[in-house]
Amino acid sequence: MNRSILVTGATGNVGREVVRLLYDEGYHIKAAVRNLKNIDDALTPQVEYVVFDFQQQNTFIDALQGV
């Protein structure tokens, strides 16, 4: 069973906690970010970061693959 979840807002205060809690429960996390250059090292390093922007439809396919 694929237990992947896309978390939007993954670098924000709430999103950061959601990523951590879901990761601790054993889910594979795809953390959606607008710009990969803005990833904070403090985020859970085992998550997969993907570019996703609600206003850029070309980012949807890769971000939603497998979730």
* CA-wise closest residue to 51 among 33, 64, 38: 33
Strand ranges for 1-67 from DSSP E: 4-7, 28-33, 48-51
Residue 46 is classified by DSSP as T
The pTM of the whole model exceeds 0.75: yes
Determine the Cα–Cα distance for residues 59 and 14; give it in Å rounded to an integer.
22
Model pLDDT for residues 9-37, shown as the tens digit of each residue: 888 889 889 988 998 898 999 999 888 87
- Output the CA torsion sign for 31, 33, 37, 43: negative
pLDDT of residue 42: 56
Q: Is the pLDDT of residue 47 over 60?
A: yes
Write down the mean pLDDT value for the chain.
85
**pLDDT class for 55, splitting at 50, 70, 90?**
very high
